[in-house]
Structure 1
Amino acid sequence: MMRNDPRRRAMFCMTIEHSTTRIWFRCRSSVIISETFDFTIAEPKNSLNSAAFVSPDKKLLGFDPTIQPAEDNEKQFITIVYSDNDKKNLRMFRTKRIISSYGADPLRG
């Protein structure tokens, strides 16, 4: 997901095996993994905290709000840049083509 979508700044994941759970956070430079915890009805506090991953907004999920897919071409993106932190004067740039499709294959690369 990080390799194929330029809007991704970071991502969260969960691995669950039986009742043992870990939460993973990955950004372009680091991977952070939580200690394991019990993900069962017996530990409702852990289950409720983990439920926050289900429906947060896109920015909380790690998407960059300044990059949007072009409506007429799913392979192109529009990037919004603000001059000198001025929200009124924005510039928009549209990708035309891929310069290089080489990406890192490992989890960190």
Structure 2
Amino acid sequence: MLKRTLCALVAAIALVSFSAPAMADYHHKMRVRGTVESVDASQKTFSVKERDGKVITFRVDDRSEFEVENRDRDDRDVPFSELKAGDRVKVKAYRGEQPHLVDDVDIYR
């Protein structure tokens, strides 16, 4: 009985230690500011070019949120389909497998 419990404990520790690095990256958010370079509605992805010229690609799921930020009017939630090339954006996304998964996007027009 003790041997079986010990084997199960060792297996559980090994599983957690091998999966922890991947999970840790996934749960840390990144923030990116830039201009939308391209939008691929069929793949649910878009690319943002930062000031330094680096282009980062993001993917969208059903939980991703988009909001148009206006100086003169109230901010409003919009669907992914409203995102256009040339929009200035601030993206919050999860680090991990690329393209990075979007949490939310503020669109400045």
Do they fold alike, i.e. is TM over 0.5? no
Larger radius of gyration: 2
Q: Which has the higher helix share?
A: 2
Higher relative contact order (CA closer than 8 Å, sequence separation 6+): 2
Instruction: Compute the TM-score of the two structures, normalised by the length of structure 2.
Output: 0.23
Instruction: Compute the TM-score of the two structures, normalised by the length of structure 1.
Output: 0.23
